[in-house]
Amino acid sequence: MRWSSFYNTTSRIFHEYPSWSKSVVICTVISGGGVVAYADAKPAQSDNVGHNRKKKVVVLGTGWAGTSFVKNMKSSSYDIHVVSPRNYFAFTPLLPSVTCGTVEARSVVEPIRSISRKSGLDIQFSEAECYKIDPKNNKVYCRSGQDKKLGGPEEFSLDYDYLVIAMGARSNTFNTPGVQEHAHFLKEVEDAQRIRQTVINLFERASLPSLSEEEKRKLLSFVIVGGGPTGVEFAAELHDFVHEDLSILYPSLKDYVKITLLEAGDHILNMFDKRITEFAEEKFSRDGTDVRLGSMVVKVSANEISAKERSTGEVVSIPHGMVVWSTGIGPRPEILEFMKQLGQINRRAIVTDEWLRVEGCDNIYALGDCATINQRRVMEDIAVIFSKADKDNSRTLDIKEFQDVVGDIIERYPQVGIYLKKNQMKDMATLLNKSQESSLTVDIEYFKEALSKVDSQMKNLPATAQVASQQGIYLADCFNRMELCEKYPEGPLRFRGTGRHRFHPFRYKHFGQFAPLGGEQTAAQLPGDWISIGHSSQWLWYSVYTSKQVSWRTRALVVSDWTRRFIFGRDSSRI
Amino acid sequence: MRWSSFYNTTSRIFHEYPSWSKSVVICTVISGGGVVAYADAKPAQSDNVGHNRKKKVVVLGTGWAGTSFVKNMKSSSYDIHVVSPRNYFAFTPLLPSVTCGTVEARSVVEPIRSISRKSGLDIQFSEAECYKIDPKNNKVYCRSGQDKKLGGPEEFSLDYDYLVIAMGARSNTFNTPGVQEHAHFLKEVEDAQRIRQTVINLFERASLPSLSEEEKRKLLSFVIVGGGPTGVEFAAELHDFVHEDLSILYPSLKDYVKITLLEAGDHILNMFDKRITEFAEEKFSRDGTDVRLGSMVVKVSANEISAKERSTGEVVSIPHGMVVWSTGIGPRPEILEFMKQLGQINRRAIVTDEWLRVEGCDNIYALGDCATINQRRVMEDIAVIFSKADKDNSRTLDIKEFQDVVGDIIERYPQVGIYLKKNQMKDMATLLNKSQESSLTVDIEYFKEALSKVDSQMKNLPATAQVASQQGIYLADCFNRMELCEKYPEGPLRFRGTGRHRFHPFRYKHFGQFAPLGGEQTAAQLPGDWISIGHSSQWLWYSVYTSKQVSWRTRALVVSDWTRRFIFGRDSSRI
């Protein structure tokens, strides 16, 4: 009793003299003796010091997910600390354009400090890599990845009340020997810059005197592994760069250039509609880009790449000057380590619930490429769903009971909605009614059977900027309305527990996808199976990518880069 | 007789079937068995193969001198081969702006291939470093400085008929210990990019949690050594970058930043007018930039720079996060080696005559920062001048004889003209007449005495872009009119030899110099002692630098960069 009255007094004082708050917290922290990174870092355990203490949110990563989270934070009830090895956000869909100088690297990046400053909140940033997450003690351990010469301490730890993991993923080499050493990736801005330099290097090297034909051919053999959107776009950009710009400056080398695209599957762009795939394959073959389907790379060396042809089983070796590896993503080592701690073994990313909360951790969220949503199966919960709906415990559901929960079911288990839509059913009553026309009273067995197929509609979200960005916005919105929604939960019924979920679960909205194919042509697959290929979609691409820029600065720069390219071509200075 | 008729026949055939020429030359070369880099490289010795063979010009370097030479070549009677470790020309006066992102690196560079392509000539380029010049055999030895991983041969040699050395210079460390290891230079585009990254690195590092005040202060202590135009401009740019842009994004660090400028002499910008120096020193002191005059740096370590104060003799140590070294230039090792071969020891650069021809080498020219013109002294030649003028061998000069040679004297020995101008004499007759009013017949003793002071007017040209660029234009013009001028020499009388010089000697025209001081203020010293300081000269600076750009592309980019900076500020992403 005495303690609680002490706290009341203290908190009232803090309320009246907010500037005290900080110093008192500092004292607490110092006397606590823990490793505390800086004055503002209040350990979560000391929650009871003041009731109006801001909750500490640590955000790991400044990619699409992390940045859209930070950008959309509006509530001032959090102390937000962002940690990332990059002090900027990069508009990654333009990276293939950066590789050839269609767009400059600096036009696609925006400092995270300038993004967070616009939010009006006091958001802190540290340029460092998080190398360990300790969910038991609500701590992350970070290391500044910078030049050691600069001196100063390199490691520090941060306490958090909420942790938002948005660290992305790394390129997946599938343990193919030699890839890490000899191939270029295309995930970071630095990768794109390196590729640009290497292309020019190769052209310069190939134009040195006294080079044999064979050596020139080897140097100018560019091999791209992976026929996904990134690989395809890079191949197209490279082809344009060579044929529109470099062939003018290096006229004698034009005929030595060869671009090869290796794809292990049956087709390139296989996540797109068949029409797009066909168009792309035909365009590439007209352009002279050698697309080899069913080619599984088995080894990369400094001068050669070996691929096994699925049709013949033969291993073919291609001499190369540069290999760009773009075959998909895998988890980062720190993420793997964290997953191990959580017991999430054999998963490709951190598993979260539909609210992006890491399974098993109440105060940790994961989003973007480092996370995957573990959608709950209807069949797993079928018994609790039924009993929750069966309010009168009659062991059958009548129409009234059913209609009370149908909205919640569809919200909690979105696969139900997708299933209905796919089978052109108006509502769930139709699904249940279909097989039993007369009565709408169903028992659990019947209920189970009717819903038995809906789980087949579940699928993982793609690892795209679009998904990550929507997740960031969603989570920021949840954080902004945390207090409100705790009082007035807006989510669906908790079928396993009691009451309602605080928030609506995350729902991804697909706005379509582009695949630039070079020569001012782009393929676009928009919702509703709307396909558009050609110059008109190139203009759609330009306008969408312009509007999606994170700031007016990058917007102006990207547009001026495109204009510059139209007028003057791409620059080939080796800087 | 039989041989000469063979050559005549051969050359007629070549004339009639020009395409044979090449293949025959290849055969000659191969049978010659020498190390020949590529088919077009015809050794100078084989001059007698065909009379209409193009002369081979090898140009070393793509800086101001080399590029303006290449850009101004118009004659198609040469095979031009440019060798440089950089495949681009960089507009170096904007490098200080690149260090802080006022202008982007790519906006100040233009590929040499695109410059040479515009000339309409078939100019070849090899990205390599010349590591040895062999003037006896008319050969240069080159090495590709690129990544060894790329494979292919790394070394090659080129034969030349004419060699143009325009390799520039390197930063001079005056053998101060630690400079090479711990200081940044500001000569190349890469240097500017590295400085930009380091500045951001330091700010990011200083904003990591748990750094002591002292550490922050050390990290954000920027020391610039050398109060010349480059050092001063960089200090000004850095100050603007910190106060206009970084202080907004890193508000808590603003007060830790310290910029120190160390100058060994009595004043900064000492090649400028006193008014400019004073204005600059006052502005810097208002800005809080610590200018320490009479500070001689004695040692640089990773964290500290030690300087000896001339006034007190004390050695003061300043902790630093970054040192930028900009104290002048020295010869490159390859140039030193070449100078040793020529017996030019103890010189700071390759010595040439007034026609930019290397002393002792008929077919080698040197220009830009790697060369210095050894102006001939009048007193050295006084006897031959007199005897040349004294046509009737009367041992005295009369007015007619004198007027015949006065133009040649002034052209051959420009110091005479400068002396006259400085002493406000109308012409040389006044100089001679002044001391002997009655007669204009002078004897050699009198002639000697009258001219005894003119040599004091000789001075070396400054190592600036302006000089190098004018030299390149001059030399290209000579090459373009080589045949014509061999028939009809246009230069002054050869006082030591017979006949006339083929060309007018090189004459530098000074168009003034700028010293940007930050805060949109620039000091300009224009010819005729015209001084302008402030915002108006900033605009003059903008327009001169815009007009001097090497291409419309860079012109557009530089202007758009300035506009971008005005609207959005400088970018602080660490890429």
Q: What's the pLDDT tens digit per position in B247-276?
A: 999 999 999 999 999 999 999 999 999 999
Q: What are the tokens at B505? A: 């000697």
Read off the pLDDT of each residue in B106-129 and give the average, rounded to a whole number: 92
**Strands B258-263 vs B290-293: parallel, antiparallel or unpaired:** parallel
- Residue B403's pLDDT is 81
Could you give the CA distance from residue A516 to residue A523 in angstroms, rounded to a whole number? 6
Confidence of residue A44 (pLDDT cuts 50, 70, 90): very low
Q: Could you tell me where in chain B the CATH 1.10.238 domains are found?
A: 378-457
Q: What are the tokens at B165? A: 């050395």
For B312-326, the pLDDT digits (tens) are 999 999 999 999 999
- If one compares A47 and A187, the residue with the highest pLDDT of the two is A187
Read off the pLDDT of each residue in A442-453 and give the average, rounded to a whole number: 85
Question: DSSP strand E in A73-120: where?
Answer: 78-84, 88-90, 109-111
Read off the pLDDT of each residue in B516-528 and give the average, rounded to a whole number: 92
Contact list, A42 vs chain B (CB under 8 Å): none
Domain A378-457, what fold? Recoverin; domain 1 (1.10.238)
- Residue B150's pLDDT is 61
Three-class secondary structure of residue A505 per DSSP: coil
Could you give the CA distance from residue A218 to residue B396 in angstroms, rounded to a whole number? 76
Domain B54-85+128-169+331-375+464-509: give its CATH code: 3.50.50.60
Does position B40 have pLDDT exceeding 60, yes or no?
Answer: no
Cβ(A306)–Cβ(A317) under 8 Å?
A: yes
Give the closest-approach CA distance of A420 to chain B in angstroms.
48
Q: Cβ of B573 and A106 within 8 Å? A: yes
User: Which residues, listed in sequence order, are joined to residue B225 by a DSSP beta bridge?
Assistant: B262, B325
Could you give the CA distance from residue A269 to residue A280 in angstroms, rounded to a whole number? 8
Does position B33 have pLDDT exceeding 50, yes or no?
Answer: no
Residue of B105, B126, B208 lying closest to A575 (CB–CB): B105
Q: Cβ of A564 and B552 within 8 Å? A: no
Confidence of residue A356 (pLDDT cuts 50, 70, 90): very high
For B461-502, the pLDDT digits (tens) are 999 999 999 999 999 999 999 999 999 999 999 998 889 999
Contact list, A573 vs chain B (CB under 8 Å): 87-88, 106, 109-111
- Residue A150's pLDDT is 63
- If one compares B9 and A285, the residue with the highest pLDDT of the two is A285
Does position B434 have pLDDT exceeding 50, yes or no?
Answer: yes
Does position B361 have pLDDT exceeding 70, yes or no?
Answer: yes
Does position B530 have pLDDT exceeding 80, yes or no?
Answer: yes
Contact list, A127 vs chain B (CB under 8 Å): 204-205, 207-208, 574
Give the closest-approach CA distance of B553 to chain A in angstroms.
6
Sign of the alpha-carbon dihedral angle for B386, B388, B392, B397:
negative
**Strands B109-111 vs B88-90: parallel, antiparallel or unpaired:** antiparallel
Confidence of residue A448 (pLDDT cuts 50, 70, 90): confident
- Residue A151's pLDDT is 61
- Please enumerate in sequence order all residues whose Cβ is within 8 A of that of A27, keeping only pairs 6 or more positions apart, or say none: none
Q: Cβ of B205 and A567 within 8 Å? A: no
Mutate to test the interface with A, among B38, B154, B204 (most CBs of A within 10 A): B204
Q: Cβ of B568 and A556 within 8 Å? A: yes
Could you give the CA distance from residue B469 to residue B565 in angstroms, rounded to a whole number? 29
Read off the pLDDT of each residue in B381-389 and give the average, rounded to a whole number: 88
Q: Cβ of A87 and B204 within 8 Å? A: yes
Q: How many CB atoms lie within 10 A of CB B131?
A: 14
For A239-266, the pLDDT digits (tens) are 999 999 999 999 999 999 999 999 999 9
Residue of B nearest to A553 (CA): B568
Residue of A200, A202, A560 lying closest to B560 (CB–CB): A560
Q: Cβ of B208 and A87 within 8 Å? A: no
Read off the pLDDT of each residue in A106-121 and give the average, rounded to a whole number: 92
Interface A-B, measured as beta-carbon pairs within 8 A, has a size of 183
Q: Cβ of A205 and B126 within 8 Å? A: no
Q: Could you tell me where in chain B the CATH 3.50.50.60 domains are found?
A: 54-85+128-169+331-375+464-509
Give the closest-approach CA distance of B355 to chain A in angstroms.
31
Tell the residue number behind the tokens 């240097």, with chain if given: B191
Give the closest-approach CA distance of B34 to chain A in angstroms.
13
Does position B44 have pLDDT exceeding 50, yes or no?
Answer: no
Low-confidence winner among A41-45, A194-198, B103-107, B492-496 (lowest mean pLDDT): A41-45
Contact list, B195 vs chain A (CB under 8 Å): none
- Residue A152's pLDDT is 55
Residue of B37, B152, B575 lying closest to A190 (CB–CB): B575
Q: Cβ of A128 and B37 within 8 Å? A: no
Give the closest-approach CA distance of A460 to chain B in angstroms.
33
The rounded mean pLDDT for chain B is 87
For A383-419, the pLDDT digits (tens) are 898 888 888 888 888 878 888 888 898 899 988 888 8
Does position B38 have pLDDT exceeding 60, yes or no?
Answer: no
Could you give the CA distance from residue B537 to residue A73 in angstroms, rounded to a whole number? 45
Contact list, A574 vs chain B (CB under 8 Å): 86-88, 127
Does position A115 have pLDDT exceeding 50, yes or no?
Answer: yes
Read off the pLDDT of each residue in B232-258 and give the average, rounded to a whole number: 95
Q: Cβ of B249 and A193 within 8 Å? A: no
Could you give the CA distance from residue A371 to residue A342 in angstroms, rounded to a whole number? 13
Residue of B37, B201, B574 lying closest to A210 (CB–CB): B37
Q: Cβ of A321 and B125 within 8 Å? A: no
Contact list, B150 vs chain A (CB under 8 Å): 201-202, 205, 219, 321
Q: Determine phi and psi for B566, rounding to 5 degrees.
A: -60, -40
- Residue A18's pLDDT is 41
- Please enumerate in sequence order all residues whose Cβ is within 8 A of that of B328, keeping only pairs 6 or more positions apart, or say none: B171, B172, B226, B228, B463
Contact list, B113 vs chain A (CB under 8 Å): 249-250, 572
Question: What one-character-per-residue DSSP string does B251-266 give?
Answer: GGGGGG-EEEEEESSS
Q: Cβ of A209 and B568 within 8 Å? A: no
- Residue A20's pLDDT is 39
Could you give the CA distance from residue A364 to residue A161 in angstroms, rounded to a whole number? 9
Tell the residue number behind the tokens 């060994």, with chain if given: B264
Read off the pLDDT of each residue in B197-222 and give the average, rounded to a whole number: 92
Does position A12 have pLDDT exceeding 70, yes or no?
Answer: no
Three-class secondary structure of residue B242 per DSSP: helix
Q: What are the tokens at B126? A: 């090899």
Residue of B38, B207, B573 lying closest to A109 (CB–CB): B573
Three-class secondary structure of residue A68 per DSSP: helix
- The H-or-E segment that residue B366 falls in is strand B364-366
Q: pLDDT exceeding 90 applies to what percent of chain B?
A: 68
Q: Cβ of A151 and B189 within 8 Å? A: no
Distance between start and end Cα atoms, chain B = 70
Q: Cβ of A150 and B38 within 8 Å? A: no
Q: Cβ of A204 and B117 within 8 Å? A: no
The rounded mean pLDDT for chain A is 87
Residue of B158, B205, B572 lying closest to A144 (CB–CB): B205
Read off the pLDDT of each residue in B295-315 and give the average, rounded to a whole number: 95
- Please enumerate in sequence order all residues whose Cβ is within 8 A of that of A343, keeping only pairs 6 or more positions apart, or say none: A360
Q: What are the tokens at B141? A: 């030895």
- Residue A389's pLDDT is 86
Could you give the CA distance from residue A82 to residue B246 in angstroms, rounded to a whole number? 18
Tell the residue number behind the tokens 């009737």, with chain if given: B392
Does position A270 have pLDDT exceeding 70, yes or no?
Answer: yes
Contact list, A301 vs chain B (CB under 8 Å): none
Does position B39 have pLDDT exceeding 60, yes or no?
Answer: no
- If one compares B41 and B161, the residue with the highest pLDDT of the two is B161
Angle, helix B64-72 to helix B465-480, in steps of 10 degrees? 30
Does position B543 have pLDDT exceeding 90, yes or no?
Answer: yes
Question: What one-character-per-residue DSSP string does B485-525 give?
Answer: HHHS--S-B-SSSSSB-SSPPP------EEEEEETTEEEEE
Query: Residue B371 burial by CB count (10 A; 0-12/13-18/19+): exposed, middle or buried?
Result: buried
Mutate to test the interface with A, among B149, B208, B250, B570 (most CBs of A within 10 A): B208
Read off the pLDDT of each residue in A358-375 and give the average, rounded to a whole number: 94
Residue of A117, A248, A302 lying closest to B149 (CB–CB): A302
Q: What share of chain A is helix, strand, coil (3-state, %, to 5)?
A: 45, 20, 35
Q: Of the candidates B136, B67, B143, which has an alpha carbon nearest to the alpha carbon of residue B338?
A: B136
Q: Cβ of A211 and B126 within 8 Å? A: no
Q: Cβ of B248 and A201 within 8 Å? A: no
Does position A34 have pLDDT exceeding 70, yes or no?
Answer: no
Q: What are the tokens at B395? A: 């041992």
Q: Could you tell me where in chain A the CATH 3.50.50.100 domains are found?
A: 179-330+511-568
Instruction: Output the pTM of the full model.
Output: 0.87
- If one compares B159 and B528, the residue with the highest pLDDT of the two is B159
Contact list, B192 vs chain A (CB under 8 Å): none
- Residue B439's pLDDT is 59
User: Which residues, listed in sequence order, are joined to residue A295 by a DSSP beta bridge?
Assistant: A309
For A214-248, the pLDDT digits (tens) are 999 999 999 999 999 999 999 999 999 999 999 99
Q: Cβ of A557 and B574 within 8 Å? A: no
Q: Cβ of B248 and A117 within 8 Å? A: yes
Residue of B nearest to A105 (CA): B575
- Residue B96's pLDDT is 95
- If one compares B186 and B405, the residue with the highest pLDDT of the two is B186
Q: Does domain A179-330+511-568 have CATH number 3.40.50.300?
A: no
Read off the pLDDT of each residue in A336-347 and give the average, rounded to a whole number: 91
User: Which residues, listed in sequence order, are joined to residue B531 by a DSSP beta bridge?
Assistant: B525
Does position A323 have pLDDT exceeding 70, yes or no?
Answer: yes
Confidence of residue B174 (pLDDT cuts 50, 70, 90): very high
